[in-house]
Amino acid sequence: MLSKKFLIEKFKNSHFRMNTLTVQAAFKGWKIPYEFTEDLQIDSIEDTEVFVLSKSLFKNTQKPTARRIDSMFEKDFGYSKIARFVNDKAELNLVKETIRPYYEKI
């Protein structure tokens, strides 16, 4: 259901409509506004608010377990195109082992 509180736009070249949301994120002390539209424009960094998890839509989200993160990594890695150009299974496993420690940060 679309909300009248947010701008309603056509999604790409389809007949679907969606709300445009503005999300605020804090990164190393800088306040960086992200707008999920095709044209990302930052007008003013000073006038933005910092993202606070406890006040957000995601406040009741539980942190994923290690098992769940492993499952997510395997699924995401499967969607990647790495296996298309790394044909050797040993090399592919080495790539996975190299990327895995950084997965949560990515």
Checking if the pLDDT of 32 tops 50, the result is no
Residue 54: per-residue pLDDT? 78
16 and 44 together in one domain: yes
Q: Which domain holds residue 27?
A: 7-55
Query: Is 17 domain-assigned?
Result: yes
pLDDT at 13: 78
Q: What are phi and psi of 85, to 5 degrees?
A: -115, -5
Tell me the whole-structure pTM to 2 decimals.
0.45
pLDDT grade, residue 40 (50/70/90)?
Answer: very low
Mean pLDDT of the chain: 76
The pLDDT of residue 3: 74
Residue 74, pLDDT score: 93
- Is residue 61 included in any domain, yes or no? no
47 and 20 share one domain: yes
* Sequence-separated (6 or more) residues with CB below 8 Å from residue 31: 24, 45, 46, 48, 49, 50
Asked whether residue 1 is domain-assigned, the answer is no
